[in-house]
Amino acid sequence: MARHREQPVEEEDQDQDQEMEEDLVALQFDEQLSWRAGKPIASGELLRRLEKLSKELADMDQETVDKSSLHGVAKDLASHNLLAHKEPGVKAHVASCLVDVLKLCAPDAPFTPKQLKEIFTLFVKVILPALWNPAHAYNTQHKYVLSSLADVKSILLINDVNNAEELLLELYSTFFDGISGSFKNQSGEQVAKDVEFHMTELMVTLIDESSSLPPSVLDVIMAQFLRAAPRVGQRDKTDSDGTQTTLLPKEEPEAYVMAKTVCNSCPDRMARYVGQYFSDVIMDVSGKGGHANGQKEDEQSDDEAAPSGPSEADFKELRKAHQLLRELWRAAPAVLLNVIPQVDAELSADNVSLRLLATETLGDMISGIGAAGPPPPPALDPAAYPPLKLSDEVTDHPAASILTTPISPLSFAQTHPQAFQNFVGRRNDKSPLIRAAWTTAVGYIVSTSAGGIGLSREDESMFITGLRDKLNDNDEKVRLAAVTGIESFSFRDIVLKLAALGGVTKEGSVLFTLADRCRDKRSSIRIEAMALLGKLWGVASGEIAAGQESVIAALSGIPCRIINTFYANDLELNVLLERVIYECLVPLSFPPPPKPKGSKPSNGNSPSQSINDSNYDQDRIRAERVLLLVKDLDNNARKAFNALQARQPQFSKVLENLVRQCDIFNGGNPDGDADRIKQNLKKTAQYLGQFLPDPIRVEADLHNFANWHDRRSYQLIKFTVSPESDFKTMHRAIKELLKRVQGSPKPHLLETLLPLLYRSAYILFNKSHLATFMDCSKSDKDGLGAAAQEITTEISQHNPDLFKTHVEQICKDLVDGAPKSNHTNDTAMVETLKACSSYSRRYPTELPDDRKFFQALISYALYGQPAKTAKYAVNVLMARKDDKSLVSATDLLQRVTKDWGYESAHFLNKIAAVAQLELLASTVTADANDEIIDMALKNVLFKVRTEAKDSDPEWVPDTELDDECQIKSWALRLVVNRVRGVKDIEEAKEFAPPVFKLLRTLLKSKGELCKTQDTPKHHKARLRLLAGQCLLKLCTYKHLEELLSPADFNQLALVAQDSCANVRRLFVEKLQKYLVQNRLRPRFYSIIFLTAFEPNSEFKGQIETWIRSRARYFREAKQNCMESSMGRLISLLAHHPDFSPEAEELVDHARYILFYVNTVATEANFGMIFKYAERVKQTLDGIDRSKSERLYILSDLAQSLLRKWQERKNWSFQAYANKVGLPVGLYTALPSHQAAQEIAEKQYLPEEVDQLLDELLRSLDKKKKRKGADERAEGQPAHKKARAPAQKLTPKVRTPRPPKSSSKASGKASGKPKSSTRSKKPRASSSPGPEAADRRRSGRAKKSSSYLERDDSADDDDMLAGVAKWQYYDKQGNPLPQDDDEEEDEEDGEDEEGSSLSDLPEDEVEAMDDDDHEAEKDEEAKPMEDNNEDSELSDIDDKLDDADAEAGVEEEEDGEEETLPPPPTEKKAGRKGRSAAAAEPKALPSRPAANEKAPKGKSAAASSAKSRPAPRASTRATRSRRAAAEEDEADEDSE
C-alpha cells in the first residue's frame, strides 16, 4: 500500500521540477564585454554595458535564474582585462556584477581557482579599501559589493583560494586600519555606520564559518585591543596642573569596538584560537622559569632566580601578552576561558618576575583595569569650598577616559574561582615585590568594586583585612604600596568601605594602621601616609562640622594622629608635619577667593553650592576650620599643637634677624666690619640649621640666599613674619616669595626657606582670625566655644602682640560683664579674663587704668564664678605694680576682711583672692596676716564640715568638687603663698618651718588634718596632692629647698606611689615640669624612679620616654645628673616602707633598679652607674645609721642586676676611672678602713636572689616579644603577683607600734601576727591604714629637725663629678640672682586634672599649663640684649628651647626600635652651655634638640618605649605588702 501511495508523489515532484526548468529566467544581456588585444572597448561604452548588466543581475532571483546563462558573462567578468582595468568605475561595476554572479550561482561559483583569486584580490585590495572615501564617485558600488559579500556570505569562497591567508590578512588589516582612520580621505567625511556593520559581519562570518583562522589574522585582531594602551611616552604624561595623566580618547576606538564585537560574536571559536595564541607566548616563556609554590616561607632567596630564565626579549613579549589579557577581559572575557589557567600557572612559577607579572595581570583583570592602566586617583582637594559632602555625586576626573574606567563584564571570582583563590594566596608570597603588587591590586579591586561587578561581603572583608596587614608588612615597598593603594579610594569609598571595620581611632582598623605609617621609619611612606590623611580630613571637614556621624567616626581622629607625630622628635618628621598642617589640614589657600557668578565650584559640586554669597567671609571660614581642628584634638595632640604655635613668635624673631643680617651682608660686599658681619650671618645660619634635618645644606642655602641679595624678598619675609600683617597680606607675601625664589638662579632654596616660613609666619593664629575666635568663645557656635577659648588663651600667652588691636574691646567686655553680689558673670568671661591676665604680664601698661576697670576687676575677685576668676582678676589688678595697683589691692583686702568668716557670702572667692594677694602684694596683707592665717588654719583646714562616708569616691573631677574642698585647697595655697610672697630670705626662712610641718603632716596622715572627725576620701586625695605639689613649688626656691630634710624628702617621694591614680599622675607631671625647667635640684630625679610599679601602662610608658629624653639631654650636656641618681635612688629605696631583706621583697626592689637601668643605662655610662652602686657600700647611712645594712644589701643587689644587664646587652664593661661622690646628707664616712674592708668582703645578698633576678630579666624579655592586651588596657591595674594569702603574709606582718617608737627599728619582720584592730572604720581603699603609715615612718624622723641636707659647697665637693651644680639661669643662660619672683608660679595646683607634657623646657611647659607664669621672665631677658652686639640670637635661644620642648618627648612606635646616632660632641647644651654663651656673647647657646639626623632631646631608645614594658605590672603604690594583705582581701578593686 505504501508503494502505491509513493508513486504518485514522486511523479508529481518530477512534474514540478520540469515546470520550474521551463520557468527559469535566462540572462538577457548579450553585449560584448571582452575584446581582442589592441582593440579595447571604450571606457564610456564599457561602463554603459557594465551598468546595464549590473542592473539586470541585481534584479534576478537566485531561485528562478538560469545559472547556465550566466557562464558566458561570468567568464567575461573574470577576464584580466576587466579585473585589472585602469578605470575605477569599470572595476567598481565589474565587482558589483561579480558579487551578483556569486550570489546567483551560489553555492557553486562559476570561476576557476585562479579566477577566484583574482576576483577576491580585486575585492580586498581595490574595492573594499575604497570604502574609506565616502565621497568616491562609485561609493555606491563599493558599498554594494561589501553588503553582498556579507549578506550572501560569498566571502567564504576566499578560503578556497590558494594562499588565502595573505588575502585574509590583507582584508582584516584593511578593515581595522581603515576604520581607525589610517586611510586618510580628502573629503574628511566619516564612514557610514552600515559600512562598519557589514565589515564586522563579514569578519564574523569568516571566523564562524571557517574551520580555522590563520595566526597572522588572529594577531591583527588581538592587536586592535592594544589600541587602548597609551602610546610609548604618552602614559604618565602630566600637564602643569598635574591633572592630565594621559591623552587617551574619551571613547573606545572604532577598530577596538569592531574587534570586541568580532570576539563576542563567536566566543567559542575565538576562545580556542585565543587560547592557542597565548599558549604560544605564555607557556614558552613560563616554561623557562620553572615552577615552585613561591610562598613566603620558602627558604630560597628572591634574588636567587632559576639558572636559565626567560630573556629580556621573552619578557617583553610576555608583558605585551599580559597587557592584551587585561584588555581582553574588559572587552571579551569569554574568549579567555582557556587562557586564565595558564596565567594561574604563572602564579606558581619559581621566577619572581613571572609571578610578579601574573599577580599584576590577575589583579588588574579582577578590578577591570585594561591596557590603558588604572583610573586616575580621585581628587582630594582640602582647600575646596564648600567642602565635599558624602551625598555629592562623584564627578569624573578631568583625565578620565572610557579606556581607564574599570569595567569587568563578569565576576572573576565566580568565573575562575581557582585562579581567584590562588591570587588571594599571593598575599603571603615570599617576595616583597609580589606582595607589593598584590597590595596595589587589592586597592583597585576594592575601590572599583571589582570593576563595577561587585564583590561578595566575605571577599571585600578579606581584601580590606589584607590591605590593613600589608600596612604593617616588614618590607617598605609593601607598606608604601598599601598606602598608595588607599589613595585610589574616593572620599565616599573610604568612609563606607575602609571605615566599615572602624575609624582612625579604632585599633586594628585600616585607617588606624594607616595613621601608624605617619611614623614609619621610611620617609617616603611617612610623606604619603601623612599627606593622604591630611587631605582626607580637609575634605571631610565639612561633614565633620555638619555632624555627619559616619564621617566623624571614621576620620575625626586624624588630626590627633598626625599632630602626635611631633612627639617622635624627628627633625625631618617635624618639617613634614608642618607642611601637612599648612597644606592639607588647613591649607594656606583655604578658602579660595570668591568666584565670578556662574563659575563652577572648585570641588566640582553642584552649582547651587556657590561661594558667591554676600556673607562669604574668608577669615571667618578659615578661623572656623582652625577651631574644628583644635576641637577634636586629645590632650597630647592639643599640647603638641599649642607647642608648635607657641614657638612661632620666637622663630619669627630669628627670621627677622636673618633678614637683617642678609641685608647688612649686602650680597657679599658688607660695609664696615666685614669679618664680624660674615661671622654673625654664619652663626645665624648655623643656629637655624640645627632645627632642620640637614644643617649643612641649610647653612649653604641661607648663604646662597644672602648672596642673592634680593631686597624684595627681604621685605616679603618681613610681611610674612610680622604680627601686624593680616592673613591676606601674609599669604600673598608667601606666594610672591615662592615665585621669586622659583624664578631665581637657585630655586632649590625653597626646600630650606619654606619650612622656616611655615614656622615663623602667623598662619593659624593670625590677627584676621582673632575676631572669630573671640566671638565663638562667647557664643559657643557649633560647639567650638571651648576650642576658641583655649586658642584665645594661647594667643594671649604666646602671641600677645595679636591682642593689641583687640585689647580695648576685651577690657570693655570685662567691664560690661562684671558680676555683682546678686548676679554672676558669664562663663565665657572666665577665659577672657584669663587671656587678659596673660596679656597683662607682657604689656601691663597697655591695659586701662581707670577706676571703672579696677572696680570691675574687684567685682570679679569678689563675686566671679568659678573661684579661679578671683586669681585672674588679682593678677590683672597687680600687673602694673604701681601705687594705683597697691591702692586697689588694699581696697580689695578691706572689702574681703570686712565680712571675713567661713559662712559669709562668697567666702570661696574671698579666700582665693587673698591667696593671690599674699603672693603678689605681701606688703598689703602684712598687717592682716595673723587674722588671715588663723582663718585659713583653724576655721578651714583643721575643721571638717562634710561628713565622710564609705561610699565617697576616691577622686572627683574639678567641676564636681564641693565648696569645702575648694576652700581648703585655696587655704593651703594661701599658707604657702605667704612664704613665697616674702622677699627677704631670712624672713622667709623664719616663716617656712611651720608651713613645711603642715605639708609634711598632710603627707604623713594621708591628707587628714582634723583630729576629731574623718575627712572625706576625695578631700584627702586633693589635699595630699596639693601638699606634694606645694612642697615641690617651695623647693624651687633655693633657700626654702634647704629646709626639706632627707626624711621629709623620702616622705614626699611616696606621693609618686599614692593609692589614687590621679594623685600619682598629677604629682609626677608637676615634678617632671619643674625638673625640666631646672627649678629643682637633681636629687628630685630619684623620685621619678618610684613609678616602676605604676599600674597604668600608658602613663608608665610616658614616664619611661620622659626619663630617656632627660638622660639623653644630660648626656649631650655632658652632665652626670642621671647617673648620680643611682646613689640617691639606693638611699631612697633603703628607707622605703616596703623594704625587707627577704628574697622576694628584694626582687621587688630590684624592679626599681631595673626601671632605672632600662631607661638611663647605656654602654657608655654603664661603668659610672656601676661605680655609684659600688660606692654606696663604702659609706654609712647618713639618715639613720642603724639602716646602713639596707644600703649594703641594695648595693649588692644593684651590682648583681647591673652585671646581668651587661651580659644581656652584650656590653663591654669598662671600669669608671674617676672618683664619684655621694650626697653628704644621705651618706657618711665609715669609721675605719677595717670596717670598710669587712663590709666590702661580705656578701649581703641572699643566695636565692640570683635565680630570681634571672627570672625577672627573662620575664622582661618575654613581655617585650609579645604585647599583652593588659599592657594596652587603659587604667587597668594588674596585680603584682600571685601568692598564698596566709602562709606567706602572716609571718611578715608586724604589730602596730606607737607613734614614738624607737628609731632603731630594723627592717626585719616580726614573728607575731598583726592585731585585728584596724582604723576607726573599715576602708574600701587598699591604701594602708594610719597604723601602717606610722609604722613605716618609725625611726626616720629622729634627725629631721636638726639636719639640713647638704649645703651647696660641701655637697658639690663631695659629689665630685656625680651631681650637677645647683644654679638658676635666665633665658639667655645667665645665672639668676637668687631673689624671689612675685609671680614665680601662678598655677598653685590649679587644673589638676589637666595633663602636662612630660618633657617641656621652661616657657613651653608654661605654654601647656595655663597659669604657671613668671612676671619677671621677660625682664630678665633684657640685659642680654646690651651685651650681645654681634648676634641677636641669645635672647631667642631659650624661648625656642621652650617652644620646642615637646621635641624632647618621644612617643614610641609599636614594634619598632630605632637606635639613634650619638649626639655631636662639639655642641654644648644645658644650663652650663648657656652660661658659657653668656660669657661669650658671640657664641650661640646650644640646645638639647639638635643633631645631624636625629633631633635633639630624642632618647636613644625612646622609640621603643612600648616595646620595653615594665617587668611585671603591679598595683604596688605606697602600701606595704604586709599591711595591705588584709585590705586586698576586703577590696581587690581599689585602683
What would the 3-class secondary structure string for 741-787 be? HHCCCCHHHHHHHHHHHHHHCCCCCCHHHHHHHHHHHHHCHHHCHHH
Q: Distance between CA 1133 and CA 1131 in Å, rounded?
A: 5
> Burial level of 75, CB count in 10 A (0-12/13-18/19+)?
middle
> Burial level of 541, CB count in 10 A (0-12/13-18/19+)?
buried
Chain centre distance of CA 744: 34
Helices vs. strands in the chain: H and E counts, helices first: 68, 2
Report the residue count for the chain: 1535
DSSP string, 688-742: HHTTSS-HHHHHHHHHHHHHH--HHHHHHHHHHH-TTS-HHHHHHHHHHHHHHHH
Please, what is the Cα angle at 404 between 608 and 427, to 5 degrees? Answer: 110
Asked, as a colleague might, if the bond just before 386 is cis with ω within 30 of 0, I would say: yes
Cell of 144: 554594494
Helix residue ranges per DSSP H, 761-882:
767-779, 785-798, 807-816, 828-842, 851-863, 868-877
Strands 1227-1229 and 1179-1181: antiparallel
Q: What is the DSSP letter of 159?
A: G
pLDDT at residue 1172, rounded to an integer: 94
User: 249: helix, coil or strand?
Assistant: coil
Read off the amino acid at residue 826: D
pLDDT at residue 19, rounded to an integer: 53
Q: Which secondary-structure segment (H or E) carries 1196?
A: helix 1188-1209
**CB-based contact 400:356 (threshold 8 Å):** no
Cell of 231: 602610546
Q: Distance between CA 1434 and CA 119 in Å, rounded?
A: 99
Q: Which of 721, 681, 713 is nearest to 700 (CA)?
A: 681
User: 794: helix, coil or strand?
Assistant: helix
Q: How far is CA 1259 from CA 547, 550, 693, 1196, 1376, in A?
A: 47, 43, 38, 21, 48
How crowded is residue 61: how many other Cβ atoms within 10 Å of its Cβ? Answer: 8
Q: How far is CA 41 from CA 49, 90, 98, in A?
A: 10, 11, 19
pTM of structure: 0.71
Read off the amino acid at residue 1312: K
Long-range contacts formed by 691-696: CB under 8 A, 24+ apart: 691/571, 691/759, 691/1440, 691/1444, 691/1489, 691/1490, 692/571, 692/575, 692/752, 692/755, 692/756, 693/571, 693/572, 693/575, 693/1493, 695/1490, 695/1492
User: 486: helix, coil or strand?
Assistant: helix
pLDDT at residue 422, rounded to an integer: 93
Please, what are the averages of pLDDT over each run of 10 residues along the chain (1535 residues)?
A: 46 56 72 73 82 83 79 81 83 85 82 86 87 85 87 86 87 86 59 86 89 89 85 46 51 86 90 87 62 44 48 83 90 90 88 91 92 87 88 66 85 92 92 94 92 90 92 93 92 90 90 92 92 93 91 93 89 92 93 68 44 72 93 90 90 92 86 87 91 92 91 92 91 93 90 93 90 84 85 83 79 86 81 84 84 89 88 89 87 86 87 90 87 87 87 88 90 92 89 92 90 88 93 93 92 94 94 93 94 92 91 90 93 93 90 93 93 92 91 93 92 89 91 90 89 87 53 35 34 34 36 36 36 33 34 38 35 40 40 36 34 36 35 39 40 34 35 36 34 38 38 36 38 35
Cell of 1113: 639631654
